[in-house]
A and B are shown apart, each in its own frame.
Chain A
């Protein structure tokens, strides 16, 4: 009995001591969809972020202090994200990070406001509040950006098309994808294109052929899709099996490089803001080496987004003098320029007014059957991100 009591006391003391240790490090709290729907998109981002931060720590940390990344799984459920955010703020984290579905944003935004600490979206869709004029607490580095992506994609279609464009659209029945495709449909009209059909498939559909049949019947020569990868690629594959021969442009998610090589269709274009590993940049060699050392199960090509998030966190903390407070960190995030060493078309820059980035750069790729390789169809094209 006495032994049990002592053991309990020692355990309690250890639990009490843990936050004290954490106070000697920059602590960042992450709530992420490590399991559940969407884990395939978010878990690689967090894993890459984690190995980057481990790498930073192995080099002595930031400003002589270790960086402590506390990752909690929300399973893409708002209630769990709310509980995670609460727990993390109670643990006195300097910053909250969200890598999850948009349904988890509201509770995390509320908690960030209540605790007055920055909320950084890494790998998850950038909320409109990060665009200028930005919310004071919300920041985002994720590759995709609502409206800008459609502007980039439709500009590419216009540049490529030699004939009048009859365009079809495909979205998934989730608010963010539907809103973007509605925007693209309106935008296409202003760019002289003829929108012919819009299909919205549920998440997930057992068979995408009925949706593809309706698209094909409208006879588009281009189809644009901005949705989770499953909806984008299954619709395309169903269209091809139905005998459609048009061109398809879609968003380059984390798995785009692998998928282009799997699909091997020269009229299937992906547009994105992260460089592919075919570039073989020095920073990509570093990512490969770190991934190999950490024995990560995800392909290296999935990890760019997480490394960018890691670099952003490192840069923001570097400009936050010790002893760090959320307010000092906020000040550094409001004036941040991160050199991404070629992982994107330019540096990531946040200002007081713009917590998204001042410029968004787009590249387009496709599979080249003759070369049996992925080829770049369009090099970096910049879009200025300004107040509407």
Chain B
């Protein structure tokens, strides 16, 4: 039972992070390698708002989430929009540069000490029973619920709302979408906003579980195999990919050797790239070789 709980929590972490990779790639064909740093920015954002709105945790969380959306939109408007017409590789390299800049900036702004936003919010990370033999932390449970809400919300948004349908159209055929009157820059900005929001939520929940420090961005990279295994342009794929990677990791820790848990997800990724490079649920013809 504990194994299932551990898989669910780890899968939720990976799914919440990898949906940001998928959203941006699906809409604009850009692989954002600054996603880990944007996630970390969300976590630091919560640390800041928690200290600003002492005694009002919900306001602190809400404003940190809004801040994440705003940061994502600004990244697109101020940076990625300037890459319009450039090659995909140039855009990917721009996101790497953005990641380096953000990492350095966060060290300068927030220092190198671990910060604990949960304490500042006045909450504790309680241990909750799951069935007769397993336990889950409150932050772990929130991660699972948060992932379900974010994915549920995104599925509903993409299928049922006007902006969601526009976003799918822009992802499928930007030229045709533009000719039909869809404002591509608006759609792309929204995609960056939503991706940074979901990454930010992941960062905030991880920070509530274990604090936030400069190494948090690395965890963003760990979710990358999940996104690729599932298929970079499929949200459902990201969810399944996260489950596969999380299961492999936890099973290796439990039954084989904990040392393998760090490398085997990348072996799974390599195997997937050899056998089915577009991932479990990705679209075959949409792949670009970068």
Contacts and interface: CB of A to CB of B under 8 A. Distances in A.
Interface in B243-283: 249-250, 253-254, 258-259, 261-262
A238 B250 CA distance: 15
Given A240-B127, A241-B127, A242-B127, A210 B250 contact: yes
Contacts of B135: 241-243
Contacts of A207: 6, 9-10, 13, 140, 209
A265 to B, nearest CB: 13
Contacts of A209: 5-6, 9, 137, 140
A318 to B, nearest CB: 32
Interface stretch (B27-35, B60-68, B85-93, B112-120): B112-120
B150 interface: no
Interface stretch (B76-84, B152-160, B179-187, B213-221): B213-221
A62 B93 CA distance: 49
B104 interface: yes
B222 A206 contact: yes
B255 to A, nearest CB: 9
A40 B114 contact: yes
B161 interface: no
A206 B119 contact: no
B206 interface: yes
A254 to B, nearest CB: 10
A200 B249 CA distance: 13
Name the residue in A44, A203, A214, A234 with the highest tally of chain B Cβ atoms < 10 Å from its Cβ. Answer: A214
A40 B213 contact: yes
Contacts of B219: 204, 206
B127 A234 contact: no
Contacts of B103: 35
A173 B262 contact: yes
Nearest to B7: A210
Nearest to B6: A210
B3 interface: yes
A132 interface: no
A72 to B, nearest CB: 16
Q: Range of interface residues on chain A?
A: 35 or more
A206 B13 contact: yes
B172 interface: no
Interface string A222-265: 00000000100010011011110000000000010000001000
A199 interface: yes
Contacts of A208: 210
A201 B258 contact: yes
A19 interface: no
A206 B202 CA distance: 11
B119 A262 contact: yes
Contacts of B111: 297-298
Contacts of B261: 202, 210
Contacts of A204: 215-216, 218-219
Contacts of A201: 258
Contacts of A347: none
A194 to B, nearest CB: 20
A214 B107 contact: no
Contacts of A240: 127
A241 B113 contact: no
A380 interface: no
A40 B113 contact: yes
B253 A214 contact: yes
Contacts of B107: 35, 39
A223 to B, nearest CB: 14
A262 B113 CA distance: 14
Interface string A46-89: 00000000000000000000000000000000000000000000
A325 to B, nearest CB: 36
Which of A35, A210, A238, A241 has the most B CB atoms < 10 Å from its CB? Answer: A210
A185 B125 CA distance: 32
A243 to B, nearest CB: 6
Contact of A210 (B10, B113, B216): B10
Interface string A14-44: 0000000000000000000001110110011
Nearest to A299: B113
Interface in A291-307: 297-299, 302
B259 A173 contact: yes
Interface string B1-31: 0110110011001100000000000000000
A211 B253 contact: yes
Interface in A171-208: 173, 199-204, 206-208
Interface string B102-140: 011001000111101001000001010000000101001
A210 B254 contact: yes
A240 B14 CA distance: 24
A214 B119 CA distance: 28
A299 B210 CA distance: 20
A151 interface: no
A179 to B, nearest CB: 14
- The 7 A-B pairs of least Cβ separation, nearest first, read A202-B262, A40-B112, A241-B127, A39-B112, A210-B253, A210-B6, A204-B215
5 contacts: A40-B113, A40-B214, A43-B112, A230-B210, A242-B2
Given A204-B219, A210-B254, 17 more contacts: A35-B104, A39-B214, A40-B114, A173-B259, A202-B262, A206-B222, A208-B210, A210-B250, A211-B253, A213-B3, A213-B253, A214-B253, A234-B210, A241-B135, A262-B116, A297-B111, A302-B113
